[in-house]
C-alpha cells in the first residue's frame, strides 16, 4: 500500500521504498525495517503516518467490534449518519462504501493500518466527515488499529469464534476487551457479560428491563423517560440489538436528532447476505451466520415455520465449533442438509462429518442429509421445500466465491438460488 504526499509517499511495503520516502513500521512488517532503511526510507510509526496524512481533527472514526452484528450495525449506522446529512464511509467485511458507491472490494474485515488510512483519505476526498469501521479481534491483537483516534468504540456481543487463532475463549475475550481499555467514549451491550471495559465515558444499551441508558423492545426504543416508536425491515430478536446499537451510536454522535434517526431506521432496507430474503415463494433466506451463536439467533428468528437448513463450516478455522453448529442447526431444522462452505485446504467431507457428529446429538430428530456439492445441496433443498416452509442457507451470506485449495471459485448462494428457480 502507498499513500502519496506532496513530494514523497508513505508505504508499508519495503520493496516500494526509495530515498526520502516514509516506511510505516507495524507489527506485521517490522522484519523488513532493515531493507527499508537500506533503500533510504525514513522509518515512522503509525501515529506519525496519521499526522503526515493530515486527517482533520474533527474527522470522526467509529469502531465496532463483537462476534456477530458488526456488519449490520455498521451499515445501519452509516445509513443513519448519511440520512442526517453527515457523509459517512463504511468499511468492513463487505468492503468499503460511501452510500452505494463501493470504494474498496472485500478483503479483511479490518485492513492493515496503512490500507485503512488510505481509505480514510479517500473518504475525505469524497467529502466524508465520518468513517464507520468493523474491528476484528485479529486486528486488535495484531495492532492494526493503533494510532486511529476513535471518536466512539462499540461492542455488540461475544460468543465462540476464531479459537483457531486465539486458542481459548478467554484469550478471545481479552483481545476484544483490550479495545475498550482507554477513557474515550464507548458504547457497550449491557446484556453481554463477557467484555471488560474502562467505565470512563461508557454508555450502555440493552433489551427492556436492564436499566441501560438505551433500551428496546419490539415496538419502542427508550432513552430515559422518552419512548420512541420505531419500525424496521429487519426482523429477529438479534436485530433488535443491532437496531438499538446503531440508534444509540447515532444519538451519541449527533444529539437531539432522535426522530430523524427513527425515520432513517424505518428507511433502511437491510444488508445483502444478512437474513436476506432471496425468494418469497418458496421462502429462501441467505445469511452469513457461521458461529454457534449466529446460527442460533438466525434460526430461532425463523422458527415460526418448518425449516430446511443448508449449512457447512469454513476450513482452516476453529474446528471445535463445527459439531456445536451442527447440533444447534439440527435442533431447529425439520431437514438439515450439511454441505461444503469454504473448505480452503481441508477435505470437505471431513468438515461435513464433524458437523454431522454434532447434529446427531440434537434431541429434535431432524432429517440429516449430507451433500458436499453446495449447488446440489441448494437444489436439493429447493426440491424438498413445501408450502409454508423456509429454506435457510447459512454461512456465506453475500460472498461471491467458494475457496477451495487456495483458489476462489465464483459462487453466490443468492445467485444459485435465483438460477435454480428460474430453470
**Is the link from the previous residue into 282 a cis peptide, with omega within 30 of 0?**
yes
Which residues are part of a known binding site? 14, 66-72, 109-110, 136, 142, 144, 317, 341-344, 395, 399
Which residues are part of a known binding site for meso-2,6-diaminopimelate? 317, 341-344, 395, 399
What is the fold of 2-51? Answer: 3.40.1390
SS3 for 6-47 is: CCCEEECCHHHCCCCCEEECCCCCHHHHHHHHHCCCEEECHH
Residue pair 121/4 in contact by the 8 Å Cβ criterion:
no
Reference 355, options 290, 405, 300, 411; nearest CA is: 290
Pairing label, strands 202-207, 186-189: parallel
Residue pair 276/270 in contact by the 8 Å Cβ criterion:
yes
Integer Cα distance of 72 and 67 in angstroms: 12
CATH code assigned to 55-267: 3.40.1190.10
Structural domain boundaries of the chain? 2-51, 55-267, 276-422
Query: Model's pTM, two decimal places?
Result: 0.91
Which residues are part of a known binding site for ATP? 66-72
* Per-position pLDDT tens, the chain of length 423: 999 999 999 999 999 999 999 999 999 999 999 999 999 999 999 999 999 999 999 999 999 999 999 999 999 999 999 999 999 999 999 999 999 999 999 888 999 999 999 999 999 999 999 999 999 999 999 999 999 999 999 999 998 665 667 678 899 999 999 999 999 999 999 999 999 999 999 999 999 999 999 999 999 999 999 999 999 999 888 999 999 999 999 999 999 999 999 999 999 999 999 999 999 999 999 999 999 999 999 999 999 999 999 999 999 999 999 999 999 999 999 999 999 999 999 999 999 999 999 999 998 889 999 999 999 999 999 999 999 999 999 999 999 999 999 999 999 999 999 999 999
Of 3.90.190.20, 1.10.760.10, 3.20.20.60, 2.60.40.420, the CATH number of 276-422 is: 3.90.190.20
Amino acid at each position: 500500500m502507498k499513500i502519496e504526499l506532496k513530494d514523497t509517499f508513505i508505504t508499508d511495503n519495503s520493496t516500494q521504498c526509495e530515498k526520502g520516502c516514509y516506511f510505516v513500521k507495524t507489527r506485521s512488517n517490522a522484519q523488513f525495517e532493515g531493507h527499508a532503511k537500506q533503500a533510504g526510507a525514513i522509518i515512522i510509526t503509525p501515529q506519525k503516518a496519521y499526522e503526515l496524512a493530515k486527517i482533520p481533527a474533527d474527522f470522526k472514526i467509529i469502531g465496532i467490534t463483537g462476534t456477530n452484528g458488526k456488519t449490520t450495525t455498521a451499515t445501519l449506522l452509516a445509513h443513519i449518519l448519511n440520512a442526517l446529512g453527515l457523509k459517512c464511509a463504511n468499511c468492513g467485511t463487505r468492503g468499503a462504501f460511501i452510500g452505494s458507491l463501493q470504494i474498496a472490494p472485500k478483503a479483511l474485515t479490518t485492513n492493515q493500518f496503512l490500507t485503512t488510512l488510505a481509505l480514510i483519505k479517500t473518504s475525505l476526498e469524497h467529502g466524508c466527515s465520518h468513517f464507520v469501521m468493523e474491528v476484528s479481534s485479529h486486528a486488535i491483537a495484531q495492532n492494526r488499529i493503533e494510532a486511529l483516534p476513535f471518536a466512539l468504540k462499540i461492542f455488540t456481543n461475544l460468543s465462540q469464534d476464531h479459537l483457531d487463532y486465539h486458542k481459548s475463549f478467554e484469550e478471545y475475550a481479552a483481545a476484544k476487551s483490550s479495545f475498550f481499555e482507554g477513557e474515550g467514549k464507548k458504547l457497550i451491550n449491557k446484556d453481554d457479560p463477557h467484555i471488560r471495559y474502562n467505565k470512563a465515558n461508557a454508555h450502555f444499551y440493552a433489551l427492556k428491563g436492564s436499566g441501560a441508558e438505551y433500551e428496546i423492545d419490539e415496538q419502542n426504543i427508550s432513552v430515559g423517560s422518552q419512548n420512541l416508536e420505531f419500525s424496521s425491515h429487519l426482523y429477529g430478536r438479534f436485530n433488535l440489538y443491532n437496531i438499538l446499537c446503531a440508534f444509540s451510536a447515532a444519538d451519541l454522535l449527533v444529539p437531539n436528532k432522535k426522530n430523524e434517526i427513527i425515520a432513517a431506521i424505518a428507511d433502511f432496507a437491510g444488508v445483502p447476505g444478512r437474513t436476506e430474503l432471496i425468494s418469497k415463494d418458496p421462502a429462501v433466506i441467505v445469511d452469513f451466520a457461521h458461529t454457534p451463536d449466529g446460527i442460533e439467533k438466525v434460526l430461532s428468528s425463523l422458527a415460526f415455520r418448518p425449516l430446511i437448513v443448508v449449512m457447512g463450516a469454513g476450513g482452516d478455522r476453529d474446528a471445535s465449533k463445527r459439531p456445536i453448529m451442527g447440533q444447534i442447526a439440527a435442533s431447529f431444522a425439520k431437514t438439515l442438509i450439511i454441505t461444503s462452505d469454504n473448505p480452503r485446504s481441508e477435505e470437505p467431507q471431513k468438515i461435513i462429518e464433524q458437523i454431522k457428529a454434532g447434529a446427531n446429538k440434537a434431541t429434535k430428530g431432524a432429517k440429516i442429509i449430507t451433500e458436499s456439492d453446495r449447488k446440489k445441496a441448494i437444489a436439493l433443498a429447493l426440491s424438498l421445500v413445501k408450502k409454508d416452509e423456509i429454506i435457510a442457507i447459512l454461512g456465506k451470506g453475500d460472498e461471491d466465491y467458494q475457496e477451495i485449495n487456495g483458489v476462489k471459485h465464483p459462487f453466490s448462494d443468492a445467485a444459485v438460488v435465483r438460477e435454480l428457480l428460474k430453470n
